[in-house]
């Protein structure tokens, strides 16, 4: 039997919490006189809370003392949690549960690879926690995506070699992290944003069971790439 490691990002792949991060960061940024666009927001996807605030301050040409920086991060998270608290299984993105169940039925190893420190409570809220063999989140890593640390820890916990792992990601930083880890990167979202991914789908409804079978058997392989490096 073929066995691969399937690593799922959380925000923007399993649940649409990316919209809640955007709303909470936008409110926080506006409160200190900074604004940013949806295009700029793509750069906040997949990156840590600390790095997100650093980027927002860079965009606004602002520097802050450390205690103020910490206070703003806490404010953003408090606001974000008010959205999260209302979540339930209806917020699981289309065909995610079906894909997880298919992979489980096929005996595949499944991990979460998220930058979020809120990942575990979110998985419990939407009732998917028990479907994962391993969870790696923002509490387990010291280096943010595009560093591959989160996915390499995931592979290790699944007892799989990185080259036998497949990553589902909605962020540019996450796709880059998967590529650097030498895993097959599958972008979930728009072609023009995620063009560095090996394969791109708008969402899981576009992914056939044959495609998943071919990933499992190894018929579908990583695309050759040049110049992979960490650049955030």
In residues, how long is the chain?
232
Window 120 to 179, contacts with ligand B16 (CB under 6 A): 138, 171
Contact between 49 and ligand B16 by CB under 6 A: the answer reads yes
Q: How far is the CB of 213 from Mg ion (least distance, A)?
A: 25
* Residue from 4, 6, 7, 21 binding ligand B16 (CB under 6 A): 21
DSSP symbols for 56-112: HHHHTT----HHHHHHHHHHHHHHHHHHHTT--GGGBPTTHHHHHHHHHHTT-EEEE
CA 228 vs. chain centroid, Å, equals 19
Contact between 43 and Mg ion by CB under 5 A: the answer reads no
Contact between 116 and ligand B16 by CB under 6 A: the answer reads yes
From the list 20, 55, 45, 5, the residue with the least C-alpha distance to 187 is 45
| Contact code string over 158-177 relative to Mg ion, x by CB under 5 A | ------------xx------
Question: Cβ closer to ligand B16: 47 or 212?
Answer: 47
According to DSSP, the residues that pair with 199 across neighbouring strands are 186
What distance in Å separates the CA atoms of residue 140 and residue 115, rounded to the nearest whole number? 9
According to DSSP, the residues that pair with 111 across neighbouring strands are 7, 134
For ligand B16, which stretch binds (CB under 6 A), given 6-14, 53-61, 93-101, 154-162? 6-14
Q: Residues with catalytic annotation?
A: 9, 11
Q: How many residues of this chain interact with Mg ion, rule: CB under 5 A?
A: 6
Contact residues: ligand B16, CB under 6 A: 9-12, 18, 21, 44-49, 52, 77, 114-118, 138, 171
Contact residues: Mg ion, CB under 5 A: 9, 11-12, 46, 170-171
């Amino acid at each position: 039997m073929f066995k691969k490691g399937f690593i799922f990002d959380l925000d923007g792949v399993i649940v649409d919490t990316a919209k809640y991060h955007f709303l909470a960061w936008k409110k926080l940024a506006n409160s200190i006189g900074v604004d940013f666009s949806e295009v700029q927001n793509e750069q906040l996807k997949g990156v840590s809370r600390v790095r997100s605030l650093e980027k927002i301050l860079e965009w606004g040409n602002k520097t802050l003392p450390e205690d103020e920086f910490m206070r703003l991060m806490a404010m953003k998270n408090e606001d974000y949690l008010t959205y999260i608290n209302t979540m339930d299984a209806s917020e699981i993105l289309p065909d995610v549960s079906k894909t997880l169940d298919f992979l489980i039925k096929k005996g595949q190893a499944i991990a979460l690879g998220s930058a979020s420190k809120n990942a575990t409570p979110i998985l419990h809220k939407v009732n998917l926690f028990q479907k994962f063999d391993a969870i790696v989140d923002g509490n387990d890593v010291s280096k943010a995506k595009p560093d591959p640390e989160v996915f390499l820890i995931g592979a290790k916990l699944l007892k799989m070699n990185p080259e036998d792992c497949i990553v589902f990601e909605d962020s540019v930083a996450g796709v880059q992290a998967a590529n650097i880890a030498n895993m097959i990167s599958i972008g979930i979202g728009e072609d023009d944003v995620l063009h560095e991914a090996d394969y791109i789908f708008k969402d899981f409804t576009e992914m056939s069971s044959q495609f998943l079978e071919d990933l499992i058997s190894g018929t579908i392989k990583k695309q050759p790439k040049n110049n992979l490096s960490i650049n955030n």
